[in-house]
Amino acid sequence: MMQYETIPESIYYFIGNRNQIPIGNIRELIRGLQEYGPCEKAHLKYQRIGILYLNNSMWDGKIAEVKREIISKFQRFWHLSGLNIDDFVYDSADLSTLQEKVNEAIGHGLDGIIVTLPGDMALVYYRLKAYLINSNIPSQFIRYDKLLHGNIRFYTDNLVVQLFSKLGGSPWVLSMDPEKGSDIIIGTGATRIGRENLFCFAMIFRKDGTMMWNEISPIVRKEEYLRHLKEIIIKAVKGFKQENPDWQVAKLTLHVSSKRPKISGGETEILESTIEELKGQNLISENVKFSILHINETHPYWLMGDPNNRHHPYEGIKVKLSSKRYLITLSQPQQGRYEPTIPIPIKPLSVEIVKHNWIEEDFYQCSKEVIDEVYFLSKMNWRGFRGRNLPVTVNYPKLVARIIANINSYGGPQINTEGNRQLQISPWFL
């Protein structure tokens, strides 16, 4: 019989004035934000964002409702008063017209921009997104057809979480034990562009879920993958240490997603040699304790659980497959209160410790800390109030990778963090 346990809910969210809210309790989180505000407010230069929408009288009512909801929620949840939303109306939803209107909006001085498109317009979206990224303008895209058929109040709840974090605010962080877990976690890997090309990424996070530094390589040939993987990790750690020279890295965890890293002659050897080089450059402790974790969504396992919970396992269930591999349930599937109770299995996350340098006596405690850390970091995805089925260390790189890959496929300008400080240090800038 497989062994399982529940990860204890001993961690809280920190919000305004270091007030604590139990993780996963969305109602308490919303109430807490209304009373105490976010962990860290966004500091806006202009106190103004723009909203672009089509010159169509049928749109006016919905856009006005969206604006009211956004302003209200910025005041109630994020304690940003005095924010203005300026209208910029376009006559045609072609790329050149939209880009002209975006330039006009930027010329007025904006902290960020909301672009409303009539529907699914992938080419326009990705090219315009790339243009705004390279212009250092935080952006949020919405679709008018979604506004027509959705609940605007609920829709804007999650939209404003994203927009607030893109503007530089910190909605909430985890209240992690300073003596346990990793000093930094690096989410790293590569994403293919076609059959022959790829780009590498390395994003550094604190264990409280805050992204500290981000590096993305240029698009390179697949034969150059391992060399660029090493270079991009070292570059990211250097950038992080330049910003945080007193930050000691005695415990380091790497989260690798997608396919399992090869033990011999592949990613694992490169990652180990990268750690040695980081030590040689005094970027991490000479005696650093490290682990390399493979975070995998595509595995053959499914879980069912308590019949009193619609046969779903509860969040935080950790199933032991071996001493180095676990399945974790990170979130509950959304289901209406009055929907029939259908026993549907859910897909857990597979977490495997591929490599580590812990001594035998420390293995149980160290492995427990880094595995549990994956669960807690799934509560740090600032895409809305609900957690995600991935830790932020994997989810954010995947979102960035998807955008960059699609920008390339739709003929947009290449995104590179080289010299783009805003993209390097701002969580959720995309």
* Domain residue extents for the chain: 41-166, 178-425
> Tokens in use for 360?
């035998």
Do residues 184 and 240 make contact, with C-beta atoms less than 8 angstroms apart? yes
Residue 231 parent element (H or E): helix 225-243
Show pLDDT as tens, one digit a residue, over the chain (430 residues). 568 788 877 789 999 999 999 987 888 999 999 999 999 998 899 999 999 999 998 888 999 999 999 999 999 999 998 899 999 999 999 999 999 999 999 999 999 999 999 999 999 999 999 999 888 899 999 999 888 877 888 889 989 999 999 998 999 999 999 899 999 999 998 888 888 888 889 999 999 999 999 988 888 898 999 999 999 999 999 999 999 999 999 999 999 987 766 665 688 999 999 999 999 999 999 999 999 999 998 888 888 777 776 777 777 889 999 999 999 988 766 655 545 566 678 889 999 999 999 999 999 999 999 999 999 999 898 888 877 788 999 988 888 888 888 998 898 887 766 667 777 777 666 6
The overall pTM is greater than 0.75: yes
Position 427 scores a pLDDT of 64
What distance, in Å, lies between the first and last C-alpha atoms of the chain?
44
Position 429 scores a pLDDT of 64
Position 242 scores a pLDDT of 93
Position 417 scores a pLDDT of 65
Position 422 scores a pLDDT of 72
Position 261 scores a pLDDT of 66
Do residues 392 and 205 make contact, with C-beta atoms less than 8 angstroms apart? yes
Cβ neighbours of 150 (radius 10 Å): 12
Position 127 scores a pLDDT of 94
The burial of 286, by beta-carbon neighbours within 10 Å (0-12 exposed, 13-18 middle, 19 or more buried), is given as exposed
Q: What is the DSSP string of 127-194?
A: HHHHHHHHTT--EEEEEHHHHHHS-HHHHHHHHHHHHHHHTT-B--EE---TTSS-SEEEEEEEEEET
Position 206 scores a pLDDT of 95
DSSP-assigned letter for residue 303? B
Position 336 scores a pLDDT of 53
Position 257 scores a pLDDT of 85
Residue 101 parent element (H or E): helix 95-107
Q: What is the DSSP string of 381-405?
A: -TTSSS--SS-HHHHHHHHHHHHHH
Domain 41-166, CATH 1.10.1740.10 — does that match?
no
Supply the CATH classification number for the domain 178-425.
Answer: 3.30.420.10
Residue 408 parent element (H or E): helix 392-409
In the chain, helix, strand, coil percent, each to 5? 35, 25, 40
* CA–CA gap between residue 123 and residue 377 (Å, rounded): 33
